[in-house]
Structure 1
């Protein structure tokens, strides 16, 4: 082999070896984290309970008379007006009863008219001394009895006429149909609830409170309500009614809490939360337990600044449900890491899952929810 060919093969081998040992570029380690913005609050959460939104006034409607349902005119969820027809019964039996009562009234009126004519004739005979006073008195009594029969028949006819009108069930308020308990073809007795209508207007949240907390929460004035669908919208509520007896199924005492007019998004059946709170002498900072980082007996949290994390030592003041109460080390407005704290190191760059705004917004709501059902 010529020397030039050997040299070419050597150069090619050297280049291949160099390419194999070429170092790859290092990628920067950026960790995704969840964060929360620190807030200070002077409110101590006593307890929080889940319930549902209900109408303050809800009627269970039924027919005044019994019969067979022949028409159902509404479904659950329908918006109805006062006087609107909801269901109808078969009117045949009621119309027959009305016709029978009307026939009885006519017969009674005919008997009365005959008794009246008899009384008038005997009064004329008595004036001519053709009959005795005893006979005249008997005719007068017969007329009065016939008149009484007419009045009774009139009352019966009016009753049957009204019952014929009761074959149509109408709503007595403006509202929403919340339940339909009967259907076409079903025979119902008088007064059997067949339709439930929630009156439009005031709504409330109904919760169940354990018996050991009823007396403590009965007098709390700071009552806050929020919807599960809108956790960031917290409004002031008011306990309207406390049941004197426990629910036989749950063994809890129902509390009815009025919803303010500002909660226009509250719909019947929505899940809602009621929190009972009290004021504290000074504001406190609460952070989730998952945000705490322990090293060499010291408590710290990771603070996010300019896209990187910094370890900050904090002073723990106590525990509140699933949160830690901090007495120092953090300031309101700072953003802290709430998940994956053991995988970080000082100065490490991070990316916020969902964006900083989305992660920090539910901070207040999560602090409230974390103490759910925990009594101080």
Structure 2
């Protein structure tokens, strides 16, 4: 209350002047404080970088396909007669020679057929002998004018029919004998058994595949090629095959055949690559990689992998121009040996930063120490 009474006694004019003076003092003090604490501009940092000069070249394009080592000739073996398998003489992977017995079926029914055919042959031969004797007797009677020509012709026809019957029954007997021989499945050439599709005790029909035989000789690689690479594969100047189980082994090859129809499921074309002088270590079923190389007309640049600066999904490089760096996006192709092939984005003579790319920013001044290539 005392203070309020004191303020009421001070003239209002003096109070207004005092407040104005305090406001001016505060503004001046704030300006002085801001000037003392305002950050001073810092000079741009000049980074020391290492660079390389880009050179464009014509590079051959290379595409690699995975495949499997197969035989040139693969035969699906089957019995020529049906029956029950009673013996199997080979296993998966067995090495066989031409003429080796592979499987047998029960020959009981075939034996009965052969016996029946043999009896028919014996009967037909007896009828032929009777017809021959009758013909000889009636020829003598005809010579004595005891019978007519018509009667002689009847016995001549009976003899001819008996001869035909012997030939027919003999052919049936030979057919049954062949079927008896077909009851054992023999190898038609040397090779290795790559698949077994039937076991002893199983009843199979004629023509049903029971074994797969890969013949000795040429070795091939079967690969699957998409439809947009077929023509490039045909025009390949060089084809090389490597093997996962044989590091360091490279074998030249050539395209032997290309399937005219695409696979219904994968929509790729089966291609057979013949191997030229493969070593003995190349076995059936090995995993192989086939590289098809053909010349390309596209200009590419090869730069160190350390020069690539990845920003999101787009690879880029820092290009130096007038001691200033700028980020330029590129399109890369293949990687290898700490290098990368660039398809688009660079030109001959471009200076690219190869060290310290993650410490730079757009428009920064740099000092070049020299090329590293």
In the alignment, the residues of structure 2 paired with residue 174 and residue 74 of structure 1 have an alpha-carbon distance, to the nearest angstrom, of: 13
In the alignment, structure 1 residue 175 sits paired with structure 2 residue 185: no
1:139 aligns with 2:152: no
- Over the aligned positions, Cα root-mean-square deviation in angstroms equals 3.2
Instruction: Say if 2:335 is the partner of 1:319.
Output: no
3-state SS, counterpart of residue 53 of structure 1: strand
Match of 2:94 in 1: 78
- Over 3 Å counting, the alpha-carbon distance change for 1:124 and 1:137 in structure 2 is same
May I ask how many residue pairs the two structures share in their alignment? 276
Q: CA deviation at 1:43?
A: 5.7
Are 1:201 and 2:217 counterparts? yes
Work out the CA distance in 2 between the residues paired with 1:65 and 1:286: 68
Which ranges of structure 1 fall in alignment gaps of 5 or more residues? 1-40, 300-314, 329-340, 343-376
Q: Deviations over 1:90-134 (max 9, x none)?
A: 111111111110100000000010011111111122222222221
Alignment of 1:141-290 (within 5 A): 141-279=157-295
Cα deviation code 1:264-301 (max 9, x no counterpart): 321111110111113469997576x5x66759x977xx
Q: In the alignment, is residue 127 of structure 1 matched against residue 143 of structure 2?
A: yes
Displacement, 1:322? 4.4
Which protein shows a greater Rg?
2
Query: Residue 122 of structure 2 aligns with which residue?
Result: 106
Match of 2:48 in 1: none
* 1:92 aligned residue: 108
Instruction: Give runs of aligned pairs for residues 272-351 of structure 1, distance below 5 A.
Output: 272-279=288-295, 319-323=332-336, 324-325=340-341
Quick check: 1:87–1:169 contact (8 Å CA) kept in 2? yes
Match of 1:49 among 61, 65, 83: 65
Verify the 8 A CA contact 2:60 2:294 in the aligned structure 1: yes
Q: Aligned partners of 1:99, 1:231: CA distance in 2, in Å?
A: 62
Distance of 1:286 and 1:59 partners within structure 2? 51
Offset of residue 212 of structure 1: 1.6
C-alpha spacing 1:91/1:43, structure 2 compared with 1 (3 Å): farther
Q: Whole-Å Cα distance in 1 between the matches of residues 72 and 303 of structure 2?
A: 36
Given that 1:210 and 1:251 are in contact with CA atoms closer than 8 Å, whether structure 2 keeps it comes out as yes
What corresponds to 1:59 in structure 2?
A: 75
Contact 1:105 1:154 in 2 (8 A): yes
Deviations 1:201-229 (A, max 9, x none): 10111110111211222221211111111
TM-score by length of 1: 0.66
- The 2-side partners of 1:231 and 1:45 are apart by 23
8 A Cα contact 1:43 1:278, kept in partner? no
TM-score scaled by structure 2?
0.67
| 2: CA distance, partners of 1:54 / 1:80 | 17
Distance in 1 separating the partners of 2:173 and 2:303:
75
CA contact (8 A) 1:45 1:275 kept: no
Q: In the aligned structure 2, how far is the partner of 1:137 from the partner of 1:85?
A: 53
How far off its partner does 1:186 sit?
1.1
Does the 8 Å contact 2:74/2:215 carry over to 1?
Answer: yes
- Given that 2:317 and 2:329 are in contact with CA atoms closer than 8 Å, whether structure 1 keeps it comes out as no
Going from structure 1 to structure 2, the CA distance change for 1:284 and 1:71 (only over 3 Å counts) comes to farther
Structure 1 residues 140 and 232: CA distance shift in structure 2, 3 A:
same
Q: CA deviation at 1:233?
A: 2.2
Contact kept? 1:221, 1:238, Cα under 8 Å: no
Q: Which runs of 5+ in 2 are unaligned?
A: 1-56, 311-315, 319-327, 349-356, 359-373
Q: Secondary structure at the match of 2:138?
A: helix
